[in-house]
Amino acid sequence: LDDAGTTGPFLELRPAGLRWAVGGGVHLVFDPLSVAVVYPVVRDPPLRKIERRTLFGVETTFL
């Protein structure tokens, strides 16, 4: 496998999502469809994974 501390490519696509303002710079987030391609090891043996995700989250502004 790759040496410790090395990374491979990562790609994420979120075509649509919803965002609700809660107040004080805080938002609730819902992304019903997200597709991620994770490729942590690029040498032999290459490890690739396609993930389909539904995301719920909280976003805030840090100043």
Q: Hunting for tokens 């597709």 — which residue is that?
A: 35
Higher pLDDT, 5 or 62: 62
Q: Are 31 and 17 spatial neighbours (Cβ–Cβ below 8 Å)?
A: yes
Rounded to an integer, what is the distance from CA 52 to the centroid of its chain? 10
- Asked if 33 and 15 count as a contact pair (C-beta separation under 8 A), the reply is yes
Tell me if residue 19 falls in helix, strand or coil. strand
Give tens-digit pLDDT for 22-60: 998 999 999 999 999 988 887 778 788 999 999 999 999
**54: which residues sit within 8 A by CB, 6+ positions away?**
31, 32, 33, 34
Residue-range domain boundaries for the chain: 10-60
pLDDT 10s digits, 39-49: 888 777 878 89
